[in-house]
Structure 1
Amino acid sequence: RIWADDTRAPILQSLADKFLADYNVALVVEDLGVVQDIRAQVLIAVPAGEGPDIYIGVHDWLGALVESGLAAPLDLGAKADSFVPSTLDAFTYTDGKLYGVPYATENLGFFYNTDLVPEPPTTWDQVLEIARALKAEGKVEYAIAIGGDPGYNSFPMQSAFGGYIFGKDEAGALNPGDIGLGSEGEITAVTWMRDAVVEGLMPETTDYDTNHALFETGKIPFLMAGPWALERIRASGVPYAVANSFPDNAAPLLGVQGFLVNPLSENVLLAQAFLTEYVATDEVMKTLYETGNRPSAFKSVLAITEDADLKAMGASGANAVPMPNIPEMGSVWGAWNAGITIAITGQETPEKAMADATQQIKDLIVGALKGMVNLPGSYQDQAGCGAAWDPACVATDLTKGDDGLYRITIDMPAGDWEYKVALDGSWDVNYGSDGALNGPNYTISMAAAGPVTFVYDPATFLVTTE
């Protein structure tokens, strides 16, 4: 029994007849929608003994899965040599054991407008030099823009100057006690970004649609984007190419998708055999690549990749840093994004913003914000928070009443907004508009600015407004 997403499920189901003939075991593949929806179901079903034998997941889930005993260690044997090494590193946890069979990778690539810039720049300073000249000629508005959450989407800038998330111990395992977001290299990187904003070479906003549109309309010559953006960039008609490396040979963050095995299954060995004998083959891995629009984790498939953009992204991700897969990473996202946003918008100096972000992460890791009930959302930077979607912002922290309900009255700005409920100052536990873990965003429309009282019921995980 396999849990998969809607793209991979048909491919796996096509293996059923051969598996039945070889092992006399029926293969049942269940389509759970999108990959991100599988995690919540695994956390609920596997401990109850109702989970699948195999499920699709992402490597940075390992912290929650391994610590909860929901993923089995795997041995690929000789097949390990068939995989890109960094993908196996990503699915290797701090105990040195492998917990997933990777099939696809994703990382940012460095896009450049080939009409404006015939050859890609080799340094970040050259990015600005080229743009200064183009801007002086009236051909562009900015040099580059950050297209989404700034922590992830500007990481190649951060890594180029020596910034990092977590250091490593002597054994090479991630060390949550060494947080690099307040390091000298990180401060230098964020200062570089802020200086670019002040000079008018980078916009303050990190809005995904706004900044992708700048590239698609020729208003910026450079953009960092992932394979998920290829469809819209191609449809825009902008002349572009993806460089084989980032300026200063900087490293992006690496995400890896793969197959994991339920350790409580009665078929652990059979599940591993299915993955090594039926999935880890040239034919199946090639089909997974062709339907997934992501670079393959399988060496032979990556070598024959014909899509120039995916091939270039694979090359630029050769030195990629796997997204940290330890539980403490859940405490990083909100503070990291907020710190960079606060710095590049000039609300605080880079030193102060990143020091505050680091302290917030430390507090989250030790549980200092345990018990916080928050309403992170798109409105927060208009309501007293340094940035939007910050689950640890004290300005949107709800207060528990005598009736057991949590309330807060917020002066909401006019417009259409989205929000969720987040607990303990992080995204590890959050509830959506259906009361479900990791559920969809709430929406609220304000014809005019005014106070709104939000009421959270911890019994139903739902929010109502007054």
Structure 2
Amino acid sequence: MKKALLIMAILLLSMSVLPVVAQDTEEEAPLERADADFVVWVDSNYVDAMQALGDQFAADFGVTVAVQESTLGDVDNVIPVAAPAGQGPDVFFTAHDKLGNLVSGGLVAPIEVANPDGFAESAVNAFLYNGDVYGIPFSIENIAFFRNVDLVPEAPATWDDVVAISEELSADNGDNFEDNAYGFVRQSGDPYHFFPIQTAFGGYVFGQTEEGYDPTDVGIASEGSLAAAEFWANYVEQGLQPPGVDWDLLHAMFEDGQAAMIITGPWALDRIRESGVNYEISDLPAETDSGKPFLGVWGFVVNSFSEQQMLAGIFLNEYVATDEGMMALYEANKRGPAWLATIEAIDDPDLAAITHAGVEGLAMPAIPAMSQVWDAWTNAINLVQDQGEDPDASFENAAEQIETLIAESQSN
């Protein structure tokens, strides 16, 4: 009866947000908890690896273990209904930026990380929320600096170096965009890819305390952020950055040799490799500080409604967070690892370089206030890059908008 009510609740919830149109195909039933003592939900790429770890755990503790294929969509749509009804998994995977909603909804329990020194510090910090750690990370993803080695033999160490290289490569440019050559080029707007420039000049989005990100400390108009905005305004004014560059054009320019340097991530590797361009990947340039990218981190969290929370802690710390466990997960799906020993063992030089660029990165803030940031921040960058507006005024106005929106959201 409980299971039937659970399914009905999920279906009613999904119907309430769908447009009223005829459905040509039968909808998939929501994921249901397997009939086992201990249940894990994980992305399809990791099911076999996690089941193998679960089988070892089952043999040692005399329990039955089921690992089920899940999606990040289930974290949003199924867990909030299934967990309180006692039908959720004991452990499930999630992206760290969903943590704010999971914690505020009372859906996940804090977990003690038995060997924090085994992880990249930034990966563990990604699951820090209000002073507690809520997850065991296993994968990180970030952007890095790509360059055409034929045009830029040595990786630039600083953004001043980037400017010098770009000036040299663009020296003969004229009015015809298609005939022009460029050094470093970035896509319009897109704070995610602008953030490493901002951090290189000492800028930030939210301040940090021992408990995590502080939504009352908005850094979009901090001294370092304004320095980055001014740097970029000067770069654009020199004609080193063409206007109206979207993601596809940016990558086409790099693959065709028109742009010598870009910032992108592992999702672009296949097309860059297929293009035949002679490229290398390196850390993001520094300036007054190191260039730190945002990190996206995947990890395992414990269902706060689970009756197996003690077993969950043992399983995650003693079976998953080990050299063998983390290597098994990496071999199952070769994303950047969060485990230091696995990072050292990466056998793909491109992935190794990208991961290295993110080891000191900053987890994308998971606090609800982050939702107030993106539009205003994007608009500020666009005003500077594509409309030639004053950088200080653009970023200061964005910071004021963000602070107002956060204050309004906290008062409701």
Q: Same fold (TM over 0.5)?
A: yes
Shift of 1:322: 2.0
Unaligned runs of 5+ in 1: 372-466
Pick one of 298, 304, 319 that aligns with 2:339.
298
Amino acid at match of 2:167: R
Amino acid at match of 1:152: Y
1:416-436 deviations in Å (ceiling 9; x for gaps): xxxxxxxxxxxxxxxxxxxxx
Which is bigger in relative contact order (C-alpha 8 A, separation at least 6)? 2
Tell me the equivalent position of 2:367. 326
Tell me the equivalent position of 1:87. 123
Pick one of 211, 215, 234 that aligns with 1:176.
215
Cα distance in 1, alignment partners of residues 128 and 140 from structure 2? 15
Q: Is the 8 A contact 1:227 1:293 kept in 2?
A: no
Shift of 1:187: 2.0
1:173-205 deviations in Å (ceiling 9; x for gaps): 422111011223212212222322232211333
Cα distance in 1, alignment partners of residues 284 and 226 from structure 2? 23
1:220 and 2:220 correspond? no
Tell me the equivalent position of 1:407. none
Q: Is the 8 A contact 1:58 1:256 kept in 2?
A: yes
1:67 and 2:112 correspond? no
Pick one of 167, 181, 204 that aligns with 2:207.
167
1:271 and 2:312 correspond? yes
Tell me the equivalent position of 1:154. 194
Amino acid at match of 1:82: G
CA separation of 1:369/1:60 partners in 2, compared to 1, >3 Å: closer, same or farther? closer
Tell me the equivalent position of 2:23. none
1:103 and 2:103 correspond? no
Tell me the equivalent position of 1:126. 161
Shift of 1:148: 7.2
Amino acid at match of 1:9: V
Cα distance in 1, alignment partners of residues 75 and 409 from structure 2? 30
1:11 and 2:49 correspond? yes
Tell me the equivalent position of 2:35. none
Cα distance in 1, alignment partners of residues 278 and 116 from structure 2? 39
Cα distance in 2, alignment partners of residues 196 and 126 from structure 1? 12
Tell me the equivalent position of 2:67. 29
Shift of 1:206: 4.8
Q: Which moved more, 1:171-180 or 1:117-126?
A: 171-180
Give the secondary-structure state (helix, strand or coil) at the position aligned to 2:337. Answer: coil
Amino acid at match of 1:131: S
Q: Is the 8 A contact 1:56 1:260 kept in 2?
A: yes
1:206-245 to structure 2, matched below 5 A, reads 206-245=245-284
Pick one of 308, 316, 327 that aligns with 1:286.
327
Tell me the equivalent position of 2:357. 316
1:278-311 deviations in Å (ceiling 9; x for gaps): 2122223113223333221111111122221222
Q: Is the 8 A contact 2:140 2:296 kept in 1?
A: yes
Shift of 1:51: 2.0
Identity %: 40
1:398-413 to structure 2, matched below 5 A, reads none
Tell me the equivalent position of 1:417. none
1:384-433 deviations in Å (ceiling 9; x for gaps): xxxxxxxxxxxxxxxxxxxxxxxxxxxxxxxxxxxxxxxxxxxxxxxxxx
Cα distance in 2, alignment partners of residues 143 and 348 from structure 1? 23
1:277-426 to structure 2, matched below 5 A, reads 277-346=318-387, 348-367=389-408
Pick one of 20, 43, 52 that aligns with 2:80.
43
Give the secondary-structure state (helix, strand or coil) at the position aligned to 1:104. Answer: strand
TM-score (norm: length of structure 2): 0.82
Task: State how many pairs are aligned.
Answer: 367
More helix by share: 2
Cα distance in 2, alignment partners of residues 325 and 22 from structure 1? 36
CA separation of 1:129/1:166 partners in 2, compared to 1, >3 Å: closer, same or farther? same
Cα distance in 1, alignment partners of residues 182 and 280 from structure 2? 18
Shift of 1:261: 0.6
CA separation of 1:334/1:37 partners in 2, compared to 1, >3 Å: closer, same or farther? farther
1:57 and 2:118 correspond? no
CA separation of 1:370/1:178 partners in 2, compared to 1, >3 Å: closer, same or farther? closer
Q: Is the 8 A contact 2:49 2:332 kept in 1?
A: no
